[in-house]
Amino acid sequence: MTLMEECEDGVPEYVKRGAKSEPISSKKLAKLIASGRAVIPCNPIHDPMPKAIGEGLKVKINVNLGTSKDNEDVGMELEKLQAAERYGADAVMDLSTGGDIDEIRKRVIDATDLPIGSVPIYQCGLEMARKDALIDMSSDDMFNSIRKHAEDGIDFVTVHCGVTLEVVDKLLRSKRITDVVSRGGSFLTAWILHHRQENPLYKEFDYLLEIAREYDLTLSLGDGLRPGSIADATDRPQIQELIVLGELVDRSREAKVQAMVEGPGHVPLDQVAANVKLEKQLCKGAPFYVLGPLVTDFAPGYDHISGAIGGALAAYNGADFLCYVTPAEHLGLPDVDDVIEGVIASKIAAHAADLAKGIDTDIDLEVSKARKELNWETMFDKVVDPDKARRFRKEKNVGEEEACSMCGDVCAIKLLKKFLE
């Protein structure tokens, strides 16, 4: 029985645990899961802590980790994982492409109780691409890699089922600046263009659902043609793929398989809300997992800020799950410090959206009260990055104990306090 089926019959214990930190009741959460408007990724082989994603819930954030051909150090990835957990990640995706990928995946799964996602086609596509045989990748190769990840305990998988012949035709007729920026999307587009055959992940979607049912895998329906530049945002290939993903959401729900939908990418501010509304409409309220979105292309080195601006606006308008972006985006593999900056930026975006929806407002109230009291330690205990706040307080203040060096002896709070008292 999948979690969706269990939720049709009542409120599973696991869902009760997941609802504890949410603004809705466990009964309501179970109903949302049964209807496909919320998911809790949970492969019983891994049995992660329940993190509910979807309608009416707190916005969650995902952190991508993973080795590359130039950096195969699994120890470094585990360090990033610990940092991500410390700063509040809700889920982690292992996107390793270097070293012993199977071994790294197992070590990441063993190292955390957070739900873990992966993109199985990276592994099978890369193995073939490195032999210069990408287009020889068979349907069995694709499905076997998904099964292998599920057997290891992966909780959710990105599957680019929406990159169909028709969608690729739309791409060919469009005048995109950046054709395909999704790695999985590029593998499948190349495969389709060479064979002129339908994407096996779409054609044999029923088989994918069978595997997903067997392991209670959550499908993250990937946007292989997401825009990779502002100029390409909300274009026909992107929307055509989203229409296909909406149909696949219906089929996932019929099979009682949890599904969420991935979204862009690069989107200017004025199109962010429209992108969320389109997804919610075309995919009948399926949880929306956005990659950023980045609101400008001109900020390499600061893309975590660009992503947080887009993420906050997307989440305020109904996106449910934000994939973090680090300062190293578009430039190189992030290190531990980049991961921390990315998580914090995403966390602020998620919290800002929750706050505007009336969720978790007490945190800000407590910080404000401590600020008014000039009670620095109480404030530091509540904030997103206590270490940095404490370091700044220590480094930037000489000899002024109560106020700070911003205004010093004309500290507005301190001055008025005397009169108010």
Site for ligand SF4, rule CB under 6 A: 403-404, 406-407, 411-413
HSE of 8, CA atoms in CB hemisphere, 13 A: 12
CB atoms within 10 A of CB 135: 14
Q: Report which residue's Cβ sits closest to ligand SF4.
A: 411
Nearer residue to ligand SF4 within complex by CB, 47 or 373:
373
Nearer residue to ligand SF4 within complex by CB, 1 or 392:
392
The one-letter code for the residue type at 18 is G
Residue 134 DSSP class: G
Tokens 């993420």, residue located? 311
Shortest Å, Cβ 385 to ligand SF4 = 18
Using CA atoms, how far apart are residues 331 and 303, in angstroms rounded to an integer?
10
Asked if 172 and 179 touch (Cβ cutoff 8 Å), the reply is no
Using CA atoms, how far apart are residues 309 and 296, in angstroms rounded to an integer?
10
Nearer residue to ligand SF4 within complex by CB, 274 or 412:
412
Query: Of 180, 161, 160, which is closest to residue 170 (Cα–Cα)?
Result: 180
CB atoms within 10 A of CB 56: 16
Shortest Å, Cβ 174 to ligand SF4 = 51
Query: Of 11, 33, 48, 36, which is closest to residue 261 (Cα–Cα)?
Result: 36
Shortest Å, Cβ 130 to ligand SF4 = 55
Nearer residue to ligand SF4 within complex by CB, 206 or 410:
410
Shortest Å, Cβ 397 to ligand SF4 = 9
In our burial notation (b when 16+ CB lie closer than 10 A, e otherwise), range 195-210 reads eeeebbbbebbeebbe
Residue 322 DSSP class: E
Residue 196, sorted as left (phi over 0), alpha (psi -120 to 50) or beta, turns out to be left
Beta strand 288-291 with 53-54: parallel, antiparallel or unpaired? unpaired
Q: Which strand (E) or helix (H) includes residue 120?
A: helix 120-129
Shortest Å, Cβ 345 to ligand SF4 = 23
Shortest Å, Cβ 412 to ligand SF4 = 4
Asked if 99 and 68 touch (Cβ cutoff 8 Å), the reply is no
Nearer residue to ligand SF4 within complex by CB, 16 or 393:
393
CB atoms within 10 A of CB 349: 29
Shortest Å, Cβ 386 to ligand SF4 = 17
Shortest Å, Cβ 296 to ligand SF4 = 30
Q: Which strand (E) or helix (H) includes residue 91?
A: strand 91-94
Nearer residue to ligand SF4 within complex by CB, 193 or 407:
407
Shortest Å, Cβ 398 to ligand SF4 = 13
Nearer residue to ligand SF4 within complex by CB, 197 or 375:
375
Beta strand 53-54 with 259-263: parallel, antiparallel or unpaired? unpaired
Beta strand 321-323 with 116-118: parallel, antiparallel or unpaired? unpaired
